[in-house]
Amino acid sequence: MKANYGYMDGSGEFYITIDTDLCIECADHGCVKACPAGMFEIIVDDYDDEVAAIKEDHRKKIKYDCGPCKPVNDRPTLPCVAGCTLGALTHSW
């Protein structure tokens, strides 16, 4: 499943997409450890699979919570994207 967490408001679209089919195969859950804002958690989804998700209390403000990882100039690789060895994560902005 592709799970899109985040939102679209007047100022733009801010989504983190998690390809949870890849999560099922994942052993080290690098995203959880990599994110300095502690935004990821591992949940058991509706189909009883163990997958990564963005915590509820971050979903409506990811544009702000991810701010420190996304300086206007010289944006480095995002820690979460680098931390996920299976390449399950993408950001829309």
Partner 1 sequence: MITAGIDMGSKYIKVVILKDGTVLGRAMETTGFEPVESASRCLDKAIKEAGVEMSEIDHTTSTGAGRKVAPKTDSDITDVGAAAKGVVNLEKNIQTVIDIGAEEGRGIKIEADGKVVDFAVNEKCAAGAGAFAEAMSRALEVSIDEFGQLSLKSDKAIPMNAQCAVFAESEVVSLVHAKTPKHDIARAVHDAIASRIVSMVRRVGINESVALIGGVSHNPGFVDSLKRALETEVIIPENPDYIGALGAAITASERTK
Partner 2 sequence: MTEKTKEFWRWKEYNWHDEAKDPKDVETISAGVDVGSVSSQAVILLDGELYAYSNMRTGSDSPNSAINAMNWAMENTGLTMDDLHYTVGTGYGRVNVPFSDRAITEIACHARGGNTMYGPTVRTILDMGGQDCKVILCDERGKVKNFLMNDKCAAGTGRGMEVFADLLAVSIEEVGELSLDVEEEPPPVSSTCVVFAKSEASSLLRDGWSKKRVLAAYCSAMAHRVVSLLERVGVEKDFAITGGIAKNSGVVVRLERELKLTSLKSKYDTQIAGALGAALFAKALVEKQRKKVAQ
Yes or no: say if 89 and 18 are a contact pair by the CB < 8 Å rule: yes
Q: Among 18, 26, 39, 52, which residue sits at the site for ligand SF4 (rule: CB under 6 A)?
A: 39
Site for partner 1 contains 36 (CB under 8 A): no
Tokens of 7: 């939102």
- Only one of the segments 19-27, 28-36, 44-52 lies at the binding site for ligand SF4 (rule: CB under 6 A); that segment is 28-36
In the complex, least distance from residue 85 CB atom to ligand SF4, rounded to whole angstroms: 15
Q: Does 65 bind partner 1 (CB under 8 A)?
A: yes
Displacement of CA 3 from its chain's centroid (Å): 10
Give CA–CA dist 80/52, Å, rounded: 12
Number of chain residues interacting with partner 2 (CB under 8 A) = 18
